[in-house]
Amino acid sequence: MPVARGRTTRWLTACGLTVACALLAAACTAGSSAKPLPTTNTAVTQWMRTGGSTQITTLATDFSTLGTSADTEDASMAAGCRHLLIDVQAAQAFPAIPDALTQQDWTTALALYSQAATDCATGATTHNYTLVIQASGELNRGTAAIQSVASRLHLLMHQ
């Protein structure tokens, strides 16, 4: 195993766990200062109950699985990244979060995760670890957007 790959897989594992934790943070994080309308609270709670929560949990599971597979071999990492891409595309096709601010961050996160999954799969398949490292930056930026989503969901559902 090349040294660069070892560093890359350690990073991917750490990043995957970080992202998974951020996705699950909606239940534990403080919200933003913008006050939602009561109807928005109800609509967001309904979105979560009718599949939004499943979308979030699916992505969190993908990141956890990807973190584990990244320590094995390139083929496993590539497969994990392709699986993540499929689930990101499903989340992108899912109805929008009924809060414009939250949806904007969700859209940003999913776009970054889509690009990261593509770059990761290509990099792992072609042994281009520079591309895999590029994917790490995209995942980190997506994580920042997901943290905003988690905070806003918490605010919307607990007021």
Q: What is the pLDDT of residues 119-153, one digit of tens each?
A: 999 999 999 989 999 998 999 999 899 999 999 99
Domain count of the chain? 1
- Entry pTM: 0.80
Lowest-confidence segment of 7-21, 28-42, 120-134, 145-159 by average pLDDT? 7-21
- What is the band of 44 on the pLDDT scale with cuts at 50, 70, 90? very high
Stretch (H or E) spanning 48: none
Structural domain containing residue 86:
3-157
Question: Is residue 157 packed enough to be buried (19+ CB in 10 Å), middle (13-18) or exposed (0-12)?
Answer: middle
Q: What is the pLDDT of residue 146?
A: 92
Place of tokens 């967001």: 44
Name which residue leads in pLDDT, 78 or 39.
78
b/e string for 58-93 if b means 16 or more Cβ within 10 A? Answer: bbbebbbbbbebbeeebebbbbbbbbbbebbeebee
